[in-house]
Structure 1
């Protein structure tokens, strides 16, 4: 467990929380705000747990894992962009991309 692993865990949590915030803030409450506020992070967590987590239900190759990761972090970055926070969106996208590349190279080498 290295520094990049800790960063990646924090990025995951931030992405899930970001999707929840986006759902509650971007849509009128109570409906569809509650549906998107709960549904978006639940779908992202489900996809992550099924395909990307260390104890994933379905074993996929490194490229399948990368696809789930890119989709999750891209959705979170786009959520921040939609909320009018382009600096947070770009920062999240850049940090997630660099961390993902470092992790991908480590997984390919193994």
Structure 2
């Protein structure tokens, strides 16, 4: 059985990161209303290739949690989309796209 090196690397990364010590959580907006009313927060919806199952959301969310400034995401696997909220003072949209593209899914133009 041939195993794709990228998938194996992602699995090992996810497995090793699950053993990390918990970090102190910062106060984040709790509701979509709070997110949308915060001027530092950007909201962007991305369409992803192959993003069709509920298990896809865990993989992408894990990658996004490693991006400083990532706040929250909601997934719509029936349409293959993910909406991401992030603090644009701490990260750029390109960093969000890069994190998603490191998973088995790709941001579509």
Tell me the TM-score normalized by structure 2.
0.29
Tell me the TM-score normalized by structure 1.
0.29
**Structure that is richer in helix per residue:** 1
